[in-house]
Amino acid sequence: MHKRSFLGTAVALGLLGASGLAMAQDNVFKIGLILPMTGQQASTGRQIDAAAKLWMAQNGETVAGRKVQLIVKDDGSVPANTRRLAQELVVNDKVNVLAGMGITPSALAVAPIATQSKTPLVVMAAATSSITEASPYVVRTSFTLPQASVALADWAPKNGIKTVVTLVSDYGPGLDAEKFFKSRFEFNGGKVPEALRVPLMNPDFAPFLQKVRDLKPDALFVFVPSGAGSALMKQFAERGMDKAGIKLIGTGDVTDDDLLNDMGETAVGVVTSHHYSTDHNSPANKKFVEAFQKANKGLRPNFMAVGGYDGMRVIYEALKKTGGKGGGDALLAGMKGQIFESPRGPVFIDAQTRDIVQNIYLRKVEKKNGQLYNVEFDVIKDVKDPGKAK
């Protein structure tokens, strides 16, 4: 008699324990953040990881009654890894949202998993225009290369640049940058005698730069992904391109704030167009930069950090809008149409395209207080991705 009731109690307690645990698990809202924490794109991973953690430290880990858990996975920017990790996060961890995506091939590898599992995929870095069309569950908080390139193609011919050779990393975002810069620049009366493409992995810019030197255009337009700008800048100087009178222009990826300060004199005067500069003059940005540097031993936040920080905001706000329910379709609906003040300026998640609408700034590298910055000198407001405008 005694023994049976003891067993019964033990079983009852066991059941309670299990269901209590299940309830606690249900209450956890999981974000699977896949980033390149190692390899050629590691700076992108480090920036976004730090920004996501800053967002959580500033905004708490409980949203609409749910405990938010960030699960960070390193894909080394190998798309087969990104895909496998996304699958594991969806099937085993049952994440509510997938996020991150350091390079375009990673985002494209995961898009079908987002569609099949109805899991929102918040793209915080990758910037090829077509990514948002790869799945109806993609929402982007970074930028697109067409968005960043067109402003520069309007600026250049008004500033004495009539011939340009383009040099881009040979994959999605580079091809977008080349296409949109070239067609807009030619439309404005400019000439593009040569369009060069350099491999994404372990690029050697030297033979391409030699060719540019021989062609002697007014300027060289460059797209390289975040992290690759220093190598290009170094070889540009070594070949004496600036001394030969060839200007360097590009999207802001090449004067990445993560690297800029170590680029030296060659970088001074380089004009780029982009959506974010650490130097952006707004109270929201000043607060962001200060908090980011304080939490990361003085590391400068770059445009990748801002994509990660804003991506977390989009997820948090969507979860609030669902009243903490957090189903895939409801979250997606909550992400569409969000308008807010980002450290980069005002932004809008276009409900139709799920892509970000934002200001594009023209900037020039200048030395201020002994440090190099991308100093904004003009702005084109509320730029939609021209890659989609039919």
Which amino acid type is present at position 265? Answer: E
Residues in the chain: 390
Nearer to ligand DHB, 30 or 275 (CB): 275
Q: Interacting stretch for ligand DHB, rule CB under 6 A, among 15-23, 55-63, 120-128, 335-343?
A: 120-128
Q: Interacting stretch for ligand DHB, rule CB under 6 A, among 121-129, 269-277, 326-334, 344-352?
A: 121-129
In the complex, the smallest distance separating the C-beta of residue 370 from ligand DHB, rounded to whole angstroms, is: 26
Answer for the pair 160, 190: CB distance below 8 angstroms, yes or no: no
Tell me the number of residues near ligand DHB by CB under 6 A.
12
Query: Cα(228)–Cα(322) distance, rounded to whole angstroms?
Result: 40
Site of tokens 């991506």: 311
Binders in 122-151 for ligand DHB, by CB under 6 A: 125-128
Answer for the pair 161, 113: CB distance below 8 angstroms, yes or no: no
In the complex, the smallest distance separating the C-beta of residue 229 from ligand DHB, rounded to whole angstroms, is: 9
Cα-flanking dihedrals φ and ψ of residue 103, to 5°?
A: -135, 160
Strands (E), the chain: 28-35, 62-63, 66-74, 97-100, 121-123, 138-140, 164-169, 195-198, 219-223, 247-251, 271-274, 339-342, 345-349, 356-368, 371-383
Binders in 64-103 for ligand DHB, by CB under 6 A: 103
Nearer to ligand DHB, 125 or 331 (CB): 125
The DSSP-derived string for 166-202 is EEEESSHHHHHHHHHHHHHHHHTT-B---EEEE-SSS
Nearer to ligand DHB, 96 or 278 (CB): 278
In the complex, the smallest distance separating the C-beta of residue 26 from ligand DHB, rounded to whole angstroms, is: 35
Site string for ligand DHB, 302-341 (x = CB under 6 A): ----------------------------------------
Using CB under 6 A as the binding rule, whether residue 173 contacts ligand DHB is answered as yes
Nearer to ligand DHB, 173 or 345 (CB): 173
Nearer to ligand DHB, 96 or 226 (CB): 226
Nearer to ligand DHB, 63 or 222 (CB): 222
Binders in 226-285 for ligand DHB, by CB under 6 A: 226, 253
Query: Cα(59)–Cα(94) distance, rounded to whole angstroms?
Result: 23
Site string for ligand DHB, 29-68 (x = CB under 6 A): ---------------x------------------------
The encoded tokens of residue 275 equal 């959506």
Answer for the pair 133, 115: CB distance below 8 angstroms, yes or no: no
Binders in 176-195 for ligand DHB, by CB under 6 A: none
In the complex, the smallest distance separating the C-beta of residue 37 from ligand DHB, rounded to whole angstroms, is: 14
Q: Which residue's CB comes closest to ligand DHB?
A: 225
Query: Cα(215)–Cα(210) distance, rounded to whole angstroms?
Result: 9
Give the angle subtended at the CA of 88 by the CAs of 83 and 91, to the nearest 5°: 120
Contact residues: ligand DHB, CB under 6 A: 44, 103-104, 125-128, 172-173, 225-226, 253
